[in-house]
Amino acid sequence: ICICISQNRRDKELQTKLESYRSVSNKNQVLKMDTNGLPVPASTNSVLKNPINVPEKLLMGPGPSNCSPRVLESLSLPVLGHMHKEFFQVLDEIKIGLQYVFQTSNKWTLAISGPGHTGMEAALVNILEPGDTVVVGKTGIWGARVADLVVRLGGVAQTIDKPLGQVVTLTDVVDSLQKHRPKILFLVHSESSTGIMQPLEGIGEICRSYGTLLVVDTVASLGGVPFSVDLLKIDVCYSGSQKVLGAPPGLSPITFGPRAVECVKSRTSPIKSYILDMNFLSNYWDCNGGEPRGYHHTPPVNLLYGLREGLAMISSEKLENVWERHALCAKRLQDGLQNMGLELFIEEPASRLPTVNTVKIPPGVDWKFVTQHAMEKHLIEIAGGLGPTVGLVWRIGVMGYNAYPGKVDRVLEALKEALEFGKLQGRL
Ligand code: PMP
């Protein structure tokens, strides 16, 4: 009897819910009913009936870059459970690949679930406690964003503000550390909004002498330029999967050195994020030497296959060759741009980021018309500026699977044609 009554009650509740759906549907004309009387959003009839269809574009902006067929194929492998032994093996292989591209022996080296911003947040949230001071090198949009994040996390941000296109110098660092005695110095290695590459030599030593942790953003450079976390004495470094590493967006490789691990372990306040807590993540990724792996969250399993394959391709080509390929392709692009009469935004060749190249927009040129034309006519992405460089530059990426001469030539041709077409149309 009891079962019957509760069944009746459930039926009635369902009936009431359906009635309320129906009245919403009648009012808004949004929901339709299927043959069982269950609601179906009207739009699904038209938009979801066919398989997904996306165009093939050449992504020569600042990222994401195109993935290789090998990476794309790996994405459609069967989904494994995140606690399956075969998947743990994939994670172990990724860890080794990441230690290789970061050039580090750090045990806490893994991929955070989420894009580059998640790596940025993970780097800070684990080592920053309320009231801590962070000196942030502001050479473009990313430093500005980190200064904002520091404040959100309860820290105090002191910025080293540089004019667009200039890097933070050793003197800037010493002056700022002397003045603020910060817990953390944050620098952007690859400022993708301006196309500048921050030199890092000597900064790690200075930080150590002040007891400051050095955190570096390499989202737009890791794998594409000579770099070593260990040699540069960087304490925390993060990147993104979708640029030089050649995987889809959605993962952020990160590494914590011994001083940073010690800092996490000796915190007096809890880490203000559960999902980014490196104590749990290092356990799940088996970075702590043999403790049983525990469930923390379900990572994007198939994206991790893609990252595994991207790293495998870098490892079989060898990192030094990948760096050289990026340097040669960036040079080819920069020469081609200058031969077209265009000027590069970063004057000093040694300060140019090979992976994200910035080109000055000539006076009177409608930059959006050019990027739109390249996209519509050639299906090639050339990006405009970002943050402080909007309207000043175009940004052309040379990263990962796109750092090959043929692709560089295609983007040069598309840009040339767009500029010529614009002139004919009287738009430039
Ligand atoms: N830092 C830098 C230097 C970047 O170029 C980017 C992405 N363009 C990010 C951080 C943020 O990465 P994501 O968009 O993957 O969150």
Mutation to probe ligand 1, out of 59, 112, 117, 149 (largest number of atoms < 8 A from CB): 117
Report CA dihedral (58, 61, 62, 66) to the nearest 10 degrees: 0
Percent share of the chain, pLDDT over 90: 86
Residue 33 banded pLDDT, cuts 50, 70, 90: confident
Q: How confident is the model at residue 25 (pLDDT cuts 50, 70, 90)?
A: very low
Instruction: Average the pLDDT over 200-211 and give the result.
Output: 98
CB 400 near ligand 1, within 6 Å: no
Segment 243-266 shows an average pLDDT of 98
Nearest residue by C-alpha to atom 6 in ligand 1: 219
Band the pLDDT of 281: cuts 50, 70, 90: very high
Q: What is the pLDDT of residue 261?
A: 98
Q: What are the pLDDT digits (tens) for 93-125? A: 999 999 999 999 999 999 999 999 999 999 999
Q: 206-231 burial string, b = 16+ CB within 10 Å, else e?
A: bbeebebbbbbbbbbbbbbbebebee
Give the mean pLDDT of 268-292.
96
Which residues, including other chains, have CB under 8 Å from residue 114's CB and lie 6 or more apart? 250, 251, 252
Ligand 1 atom with the shortest distance to the CA of 242: 15
Q: How far apart are CA 197 and CA 171, in angstroms?
A: 17
Name the pLDDT band for 417 (thresholds 50, 70, 90): very high
Ligand 1 atom closest to the Cα of residue 188 is: 3
Contact 201, 223 (CB under 8 A): no
**Residue 317 CB neighbours (<10 A):** 12
Residues contacting 251, CB < 8 A, separation 6+:
111, 112, 113, 114, 115, 240, 241, 300, 303, 304, 307
Say if residues 348 and 362 touch (Cβ distance below 8 Å).
no
What is residue 51's DSSP assignment? P
**Summary mean pLDDT of the chain:** 93
**Would you state the pLDDT for residue 14?**
59
Q: Which residues contact 147 (CB under 8 A, 6 or more apart)?
A: 134, 136, 138, 157, 159
According to the model, what pLDDT value does residue 1 have? 45
**What pTM was computed for the model?**
0.90
The residue whose C-alpha atom lies closest to atom 11 belonging to ligand 1 is 116
Separation of CA 204 from chain center: 23
What pLDDT is attached to residue 6?
Answer: 57
For residue 296, pLDDT beyond 70: yes
* Cis peptide upstream of residue 64 (ω within 30 degrees of 0): yes
Residue 422: which pLDDT band, with cuts at 50, 70 and 90?
Answer: confident
Ligand 1 contacts CB of residue 219 (under 6 A) = yes
pLDDT exceeds cutoff 80 at 150: yes
117 Cβ inside 6 Å of ligand 1: yes
- Residue 169: pLDDT band (50, 70, 90) is very high
DSSP 3-39: HHHHHHHHHHHHHHHHHHHHHHHHHHS-EEE-TTS-E
pLDDT at 24: 47
Per-residue pLDDT of 304-330, as tens digits, reads 999 999 999 999 999 999 999 999 999
